[in-house]
Every structure is written in C-alpha cells, then in structure tokens.
A and B are shown apart, each in its own frame.
Chain A
C-alpha cells in the first residue's frame, strides 16, 4: 500500500534535511526479510568454522545506531523523537562521535506510518554518513535485519557488518554446542549470515556481512577484532553508538517542553494500555 502523507520534522532546523521532509511514500519499512537462512545452533555441525587469527589488518571502523521514543499526542498528531549516532574509530585509535538529533516527527494519528518510521529514515541517513566517513574500513550496524536492497546504492568500498544483540544460546560457560572457545566465525555456504565470537571469553553473536565485492568473512572479523576494542565480545564503537543515540527520559521531557515552547503544542503522554489494564505491578 502506498499513499502520500505530509510529515513534518521538528527540532531539525540547521541540522539536517531528511529526505521525507515534505512528502513520503508510505510503505512498510524493511523488517528483516531474508533471514530465513539464519544460522541456528542446530547448524553447528554443517557450517564452516574459521578461527580468527590475531593478524587482522587495522582499519577505520564506524558504528551506527539509532533510537526513538514516542513523545505523545497533541493537536491530532503523534510526535516521535529519534536520534542517530555515528562513532568512528580511526586506525590509530582516535574516537569521534557524531550525534544527530533528537529530531521529532509530527505524524498524523490516522496515518499508517507506524512508530519507528523516523527511526528508519534517520538510520538510513546516518548509515550513508558512516559510509562516507569510512570508505575503506568497516561499518558496524546494530542488528542483522537490514534488507540487502537497502545498501545497494552504497558506493563505498567499506565492509558492512551487522551484529545482533539478541545472542543465540551460549551453552554452559559460553562454550556449549561445540563452539570453539577461541575467537571464531561460523558461516553457512552461500549466505552472508554467521555466528561470531570476537574475543576470547566473549559472547557468540549473530552477524551478517554486506559487501559490494565478494569477501571472506574471517578476514573481515579478524580486521574488526584488531581495529576495535570489545567488551564481552561486543564492539566498543557499537556500544558507544548505542549509548549516545539512546533518548533518555530526561531528554524526552526536554523534547516535549521544546515542542511546546517552539510550536505551542502541549503533548499528552501516550497511554500505556498494559499499565491501565494490568496495573503497574503486572504490566
């Protein structure tokens, strides 16, 4: 289904002009198709396992994350805030953070544009920015549910790595299901999905690699291990990107006040149906 809807982006003056600033095509945004071939722990014995050596090439890394929060309703519109952050780490180890937002989307309440629409738009914008910043390195994304098509316009030669925070079962002491205890990557033939352990003792993560050119996953992850610190197997840049993009309650309060002061709209908090129906204890 496609129709045109007016979407206004607030608190964005002199920051960015998002592509959906005037009119957007309403369509369902990607929600993770192409994941039917995910690796599960049942596949362990049929996959190729490669240990990650300590000789990965140091390359620049950029991590992108985005978060959103529903601010409330006012004047027949729904208001949703989103913020993106791009954390780049040079091969020399210098870290730079770019934060964009929070931007607030003013959406008609009768629109099928769901919560998260601005998140998707902003995330796409931030990813492009990251590709520009790291042309030869690795771009890290939060999650693996990105459509392959979403990256087809990327002219960058960067390798794109998606890592999911939804970790697969780790087994006893993180060493069950036949996973090696050393850093490794486990791939399935003809698939860009994998299971990966980036550091010794770290969690096994679900991963995905996109690249314009064919690439071998072990060298990408070896390079990532060498270029970015990790805590419990999760890359530090991605952790920082999440930290700096998250819209905290203080900021949601501030955004509501700013909307009221700038646009004269007093926002009422969204109703929490679960809380109303079940009570705060069981919601």
Chain B
C-alpha cells in the first residue's frame, strides 16, 4: 500500500507499507479523490522510513544473531514490527498527469492529501493515454518495471538527433545494432561510421553492406571536388601555403585539360618548374595518399550514393578500424560530401547516420554544422559514444532522444545531469546502478517519460562483443601448477 507523505516542489514522498518490490524507475498514479485526474509519479530514490529507535533495533538484531533466541510474542505484533522496520519511503518526481484519460506533460496542480490514492502503474498503461499512434512500432527491449516489451516508434528517430551514451561494454552498440536492423527491415537507409568494424551481420544479408576504405570503398580522384582534396593536404597533411598554391594551379590545369588523375598530378609536379622543396613536399604527400588506396584513378567499386539509392532497406557500415586518423577524417568527409550533394540534388531519400565516437574522426564544428542542417538535408543523426563530454553542449541541447547506459563516474554523471533532458537526481539514481545492457531512455522516443529497459540483443550481428582472455580459458581445463 502506498501513502502520500509530503510534497516539496515537484517531488513527492510516498510511504510504502508494507514494503513491496518497488524499484527505482517504477511509475505510480496519484489519483486525486473522485476526480478523473491523476499525477504520474516516477520513483527516483528509495530509502527506509526513519523510525525512532531504529538504530537500537538494528544493534539488538546484531546481538541477537550471536545467541540462541526464543521470542514469545504476538504474531501480529511481530509482523507489524517487521513491516514498520522494512517500510520504505519512495521519493518520486512528477512526470505529468492524466486528465480525461489523456496524458499531458503538465502537472500544475496538487492532489488532496486526505483523499488521494496511490496505485502502481506501468509505462504501458501510461502510454495508452498518450494519444499519438505509433507509425513504425519496434520492440527495442524489455521494460524493467513490468517485463513487457518497450515498443518505440522508429518514426521518432526520423529527422531527429539521438544520443546513445554509456561506458564501454555497457551495451551501446547492441542498441545501435538493434535500431539499425529495425530501420533496415522497415525500408530505411542507414550509414554507420564503424570505428571497430563490428556492424557485420552473422549471415549474409544483402541489406547490410560493409565498406572497407582502400578495398571496396574508393574514391575516384577525377570526381573529387578540388576543395576536398586541398583540405586533405592542408588540414590533415599540414601542407605549407606555398605548396598549396602550386598544387592548386596544377589541379586547375589538369582539370581544364581533362587529364586529372594521380598519374597526371605526379607528372605535372615533376615537370613543372617549381621550388625543389615544394616539389618534394607535394610528391611525398601524393605518395601517402596513393598508397592508402582510398583515392584512385579507377572508378569506385561501390558507390556510397548508388548503394543508398537501391530500393529497400539498407545499411552501409564504413569500416574505420586501423585507418590512420587523417584517412578516417578523409573518408568521412568524402562520404558525407557525396551524400549531402546527392541529397541537395534530391537524388537521395533521407538517411540515418550512426556516428560512433564522432569526435575521433571529425571536429565538433563539422558535426554541429551537420546538426544545424540535418532536418533540411534529411539526415537523422545518432551519436554513439562512451565519452559524454566529447559532444558539445550544442549537440546535447538539440538532442530529441537520449539512451543512457551505465556511468558510475561522478564527473560523467555531473556533466550529463547538466546537459541531458532529465533532472540530475533522476539521472544519477537511474544511471549509476544500471546493469549491463540496461539503459535509461529519455525524450521523444518514449513520450518524454524517462524509461528504464533492457536492450534486446540482436542475433544478426556478430562483432562488437567484449573479447575476454579468462572467460575463454575457463572453458578449457586449466593445467594445475601444483606438484603431484
């Protein structure tokens, strides 16, 4: 049974007597007497009821454990005493209210303390009162409150900025893979910037394509915008200004004569009259680019845009593991340039872009620019990271939905409390104790109600799991080092 104890600000304190199995994250409906309205409360903290003499009782229990005890007392009295000692105070936050059988995020009223009743409710029941109908329902996991499926609307990711945050091994990639599969099965196109080469389906599935830069992902120099190539040399390869001027002139000449190629660039640099140091600087950098195999004179084997133009759902995973950071940046820049140009021409439908550890291969200004333009371009962004402060405040403010996995570090939690859509008390309480694969979802994707759920593991992907030395060893009998 629940009893209303007190209210301060948006917080309510509720007594649970006898103590049940309330968990942090559970929902309660606080019904206002006979009125057809109720507040939706969510448990954010559980403590024991402060009762006078509790310390003495606990000390006595400790002593009692060391002696033979024969207690002759009334059963009902003992039961009540145990219930009083075990009773819990649930600190709850108001998440909204249900009025006339319809959920609203507003709760500008307080119920009568004397006639209010409290009952347990579930997210499923609350969502029945949310009038929105789901366009693309997708079971993403299992709710921690009642074990039912958490069904999100994949359409809520469309045109949105989504964040998946959590420390390593918490389950971020598992969730991302689940979402990607859901999107692909519903005909959507996704591009994954895959820094660990882990987005590989276990069985061959034409919807999933792996693009390995330098192998099956190449870019033809002839089709490359001059600005991109020059920025590669200047920003990523630190080419001095004098050399930049020379290569720019060479590029223009070759492009004008239709002879733009790697070979053409090399020849032109060798035979054009220029400073030997400049010649040397350009030649060495062209060698590095050519050896990467990413930019070639041959036509691209697989075109990113043409792959995305195919009918049906599709997911392109761009493998970035092992690439030097400047080539990671180059690949992302080229891929995004191609995609954005195709979108601007109207040649490509909106896509979902999953960027893992985005700060590693592009600066924040690149991503902020993309976030600013994403709705107009038709790019729905999903950032996946284990470093919460690698994303800028701007990105946090624009986020529509956030999935938060376990963080136990106080500074990470403090940072997240400042930038995410959930209050600091709820965030710390929910996120700190989350087990592996469990996460807190906040924002649009769950009707703006903070929800705790266990991510459904996707059998379709093989890579990405934590590789362990000892777990593998324990499967085999260990050779004993003991003599005899």
Contact = CB atoms under 8 A, between A and B. Distances in A.
A265 to B, nearest CB: 14
B418 interface: no
A124 interface: no
Nearest to B70: A98
Interface string A84-110: 000100000011111111100000000
B63 A240 contact: yes
A276 B71 CA distance: 37
Is the interface on chain B under 10, 10 to 19, 20 to 34, or 35 or more residues?
A: 20 to 34
Given A15-B73, A97-B67, A101-B73, A251 B81 contact: yes
B72 A254 contact: no
B69 interface: yes
Nearest to A86: B70
B51 interface: yes
Contacts of B74: 11-13, 15, 102, 258
Interface string A245-278: 0101111011101100110000000000000000
B53 interface: yes
Contacts of B271: none
Interface string A49-86: 00000000000000000000000000000000001000
B478 interface: no
Interface stretch (B4-12, B54-62, B153-161, B226-234): B54-62
A121 interface: no
B345 to A, nearest CB: 75
B346 interface: no
Q: Which of B67, B71, B73 has the most CB of A within 10 A?
A: B73
B484 interface: no
B72 A95 contact: no
A21 B417 CA distance: 64
Nearest to A84: B72
A232 interface: no
A16 interface: yes
Interface residues of A, number: 31
B482 interface: no
B135 interface: no
B64 interface: yes
A98 B56 CA distance: 19
B67 A16 contact: no
B72 A100 contact: yes
B210 to A, nearest CB: 64
Given A11-B74, A240-B63, A258-B76, A250 B54 contact: yes
A94 B67 CA distance: 8
Given A101-B73, A254-B80, A258-B76, A248 B57 contact: yes
A258 B80 contact: yes
B106 to A, nearest CB: 39
Contact of B53 (A94, A98, A240, A248): A248
Interface string B33-73: 00000000000000000011110110110011011111111
A105 to B, nearest CB: 14
Contact of B70 (A96, A240, A248, A257): A96
A210 interface: no
B50 to A, nearest CB: 11
Nearest to B17: A257
B84 interface: yes
B87 to A, nearest CB: 10
B209 interface: no
B109 interface: no
Interface string B72-104: 111011001100110000000000000000000
A244 interface: yes
Interface of B: 51-54, 56-57, 59-60, 63-64, 66-74, 76-77, 80-81, 84-85
5 closest A-B pairs by CB: A248-B53, A249-B52, A11-B74, A249-B53, A254-B81
30 contacts: A11-B73, A11-B76, A13-B74, A15-B74, A94-B68, A95-B66, A96-B67, A96-B68, A97-B64, A97-B70, A98-B71, A102-B74, A102-B77, A243-B59, A243-B63, A244-B60, A248-B52, A248-B53, A248-B56, A250-B52, A250-B53, A250-B57, A251-B57, A251-B81, A254-B84, A255-B77, A257-B80, A257-B84, A258-B77, A261-B76
